[in-house]
A and B are shown apart, each in its own frame.
Chain A
Amino acid sequence: MSKPAAALTHTGPKDYQGAKLGMWIFLFTELLLFGGLFILYSSYRAIYPHDFHEGGRHLNVVLGVVNTVFLLTSSLTVAVSISALRKGNRRLTLQCLGATIVLGILFLANKYIEWSEEIRRGIYPNGPELEKLPNGEKIFYGLYYSMTGLHGLHVLAGVVVLTVMLAFVIKNRVTAADYVKLENAGLYWHLVDVIWIFLLPMLYLAA
């Protein structure tokens, strides 16, 4: 009837559902973290509708869409990698994980190009060109750099985590029987994708 306490612990058999629940709760905190920026964005958009419209004009829509394609595809590849692992197809798992990481790095490279161009043109907080623009556009760019910057940091963190997962799969520390770490990494990556799904229209398509 009553088992010795030591036999029913989490130093022993792992709690798959618990680990996943923990990750989901962490994702809620990320949602609310970016949510604060969404509150600011929506408020300022209501205050400066014209300036936000104008602000979007200076952004490179093509690069924004390219980045969207990168991230959407990387979500596909990481989801496929999990299915592949569970089905026992290790080769496909590693290929897709690798592709996800590459797409993440491409996203970051693209973002670097974008920011470099905008900074070169003087459109950054306290920068010469931005100083000439109306206040609403200053706010727009303040939010642009904050949101894409915070998002970019999360992409970088995700790339690092996924690389660690790649190593784990290679070393068989993540397997078809015990894959929750990879699944959790995937969940994190998908949330990073969801944030970008919102950032694209908010920033690039505002014009």
Chain B
Amino acid sequence: MTNSAAGSVPVARGYLEQGKRKGIPGWLLSTDHKRIGVLYLGTMLTFFFVAVLIGVLMRIEQLTLNPPLFAAQTYNAFFTLHGVIMIFLFVLPGLSAVFGNFFLPIMIGAEDVAFPRLNLASWYFFITGALLAVVALFTGNGPPDTGWTFYAPFSIRTGTNVTLGVFAAFVLGFSSILTGLNFITTVHRMRAPGMHWHRMPLFIWSLYATAWIQVLATPILGITLLLVIAERLFGIGVFDPAKGGDPILYQHLFWIYSHPAVYIMIVPAMGAISEIIPTFAHRTIFGYKAIAYSSMAIAALGSLVWGHHMFTSGMADQANAVFSLLTFLVAVPSAIKVFNWTATLYKGSIELKPAMLYALTFIFLFAIGGLTGVIQGALNVNVHLHDTYWIVGHFHYVMFGGTGVGFLAALLYWFPKMFGKMYNQTMAVVAWFPIFIGFNIFYFTMLVLGYMGMPRRYFTHLPQYHEAHVIASIGAFIMVFGLLLFFGNLLAALWKGKTAEANPWGGVTLEWQTSSPPPLENFETRPEIHGRPYAFNPETNR
């Protein structure tokens, strides 16, 4: 299974020590896709934990009923920031920015992406946008209080720092667009000899589909944000009812991007799961083409359903009905993936390594999230569930239970390759228990709270909801404890972990054919591909 030629002579510490420049400039000015991936990882996790902290404060607020610990305006800023940071600075860049950057070239046998300097520019747009968002916190009349969705007309009228916050999001959009552009070109132009489209690993297909969404949908958000700024600064009137503007049109433009955005968030995570499952089932993936094409189908269909965020906005009935039907349809390609992953397990030789445990968890949590999505896609039900905690529970199941847990699984899978160190696998499994148990206590309770009528984005609540809020908050604290265990384990491994082999898991895709960590040029000699991916058993081709 292990290619004896690969990684048998560790080249110092690979890309971690090779490069044109040394020290900090070597990291901040490097156009090496692997270093850029690591830069994203470090900065994104920092933002993630800031947003987690804000989330903890929000849960404390709901624990303190008489009187609440924070004022209403403060809480409004909290949920806005929590959303903006989590969505724009963690989940959207997500697995693409970290694992896509690191592994896309390696998995297709290339030396780097098509436009390495543009790649570095993407990261600088990311950091600039993040810094602008931080500045928006402390200047002017304080942080935005509109929610991360910046709905007009409130976003036009409120005195808080919406202009700067929205501009920060605009800058972040460039990061996403340029990464998508880079990835599409790389996949078209830089595959190794023999790497036909249908021999590419499924993670690459998922990155490719995601890249198209990034390129086609993000500009719509860009123009919408610019128009909010133009409204606030010049009063152009397009979203202002006082001048004949239609706030529902704002929602259309906003969600034309922001719905496909959730597929930017989830599809790469699904791609990572498609890598992990075959490796630890020691079996080829079931339905390679179905999974590959379903990624493209999700990208396409997912662009047609945005109206389901607007069922109660005043949109016309016919539009409501069409969007509801399309929403049911978009569940199909996702379900296809779930069936194929499950079928891959059948008659496989399953090894429950940490990455596999978290990958299976992904399937479970994402299924719940997806199913709740279909439920709220029904018009009559949506009238009651819209803007309640049900919605909050739903999107945390898909974004956190889905993308978040997928990110954790990918980290457990690829950490040894990226850093050449092995973490404590027992600890990774130990951390799973509080994460999984806490997660479900927390977010399932939210589904119940929403069903009972608890509205979202409220700084306090009626006494009848208090018991459930206490349960949810306890679940949250347990979950956060688990996250600290998880990341503490990985941090410790960076310093004190044992050296990792080139192929600790017995994977068959190209990244396992080079050393851990990989050398600067990724491979000693350029690979040539002769057969299907995921060929664990060449005789039976399974």
Contact = CB atoms under 8 A, between A and B. Distances in A.
Tell whether any CB of A sits under 8 Å from a CB of B in the complex.
yes
Nearest to B221: A36
Given A18-B185, A138-B243, A139-B244, A2 B224 contact: no
Contact of B224 (A36, A125, A150): A36
B253 interface: yes
Secondary structure type dominating chain A contacts: helix
Given A44-B246, A143-B238, 20 more contacts: A1-B528, A2-B528, A3-B525, A5-B111, A5-B521, A8-B111, A9-B111, A10-B111, A10-B116, A15-B189, A22-B115, A25-B180, A28-B215, A35-B219, A36-B219, A39-B252, A126-B234, A138-B243, A141-B236, A145-B236
Interface string A1-28: 1111110111000010110011001101
A71 B149 CA distance: 38
Contacts of A22: 114-115, 118, 181-182, 185
11 contacts: A3-B525, A5-B524, A10-B112, A25-B180, A36-B223, A36-B227, A39-B253, A47-B246, A138-B237, A138-B244, A139-B244
A34 interface: yes
Interface in B360-406: none
A11 to B, nearest CB: 8
A5 B526 contact: yes
B188 interface: yes
B41 interface: no
Contact of B215 (A6, A29, A35, A47): A29
B219 A32 contact: yes
A164 to B, nearest CB: 16
Contacts of A18: 114, 185, 188-190
Given A2-B528, A10-B112, A36-B224, A30 B184 contact: no
Interface of B: 111-112, 114-116, 118, 177, 180-182, 184-185, 188-190, 215-220, 222-224, 226-227, 230, 234-238, 243-246, 249, 252-253, 256, 521-528
Nearest to A34: B223
A36 B236 contact: no
A35 B220 CA distance: 7
Counting from the closest, the 10 A-B pairs by CB-CB distance are: A135-B244, A142-B236, A36-B223, A32-B219, A33-B219, A18-B189, A2-B525, A142-B237, A5-B521, A25-B181
Contacts of B236: 125, 141-143, 145-146
Interface in A19-68: 21-22, 25-26, 28-37, 39-40, 43-44, 47-48
A25 to B, nearest CB: 5
Nearest to B174: A29
Contacts of B216: 28-29, 32
A37 B238 CA distance: 10
A145 B238 CA distance: 11
B238 A135 contact: no
A136 interface: yes
B184 A25 contact: yes
Given A5-B521, A10-B111, A22-B114, A139 B243 contact: yes
A131 B236 CA distance: 11
Contacts of A30: 219
Nearest to A9: B111
Interface residues of A, number: 45
Given A10-B114, A29-B181, A139 B521 contact: no
Contacts of A34: 223
Contact of A139 (B112, B177, B238): B238
Nearest to B527: A2
B185 A21 contact: yes
B249 A2 contact: no
A10 B226 CA distance: 36
B237 A5 contact: no
B181 A142 contact: no
A143 B235 CA distance: 11
A2 B527 CA distance: 7
A189 B323 CA distance: 37
A125 B222 contact: no
A1 B192 CA distance: 13
Contacts of B227: 36, 40, 146
A78 to B, nearest CB: 23
Contacts of A6: 111, 521
Contacts of B237: 125, 135, 138-139, 142
A121 B464 CA distance: 61
A40 B249 CA distance: 7
Contacts of B224: 36
Nearest to A3: B526
Among A6, A18, A25, A146: residue with most chain B CB under 10 A: A25
Contact of A4 (B114, B182, B525): B525
Contacts of B220: 32-33, 35-36, 39
Contacts of B524: 4-5
Contacts of B218: 29
Contacts of B215: 25, 28-29
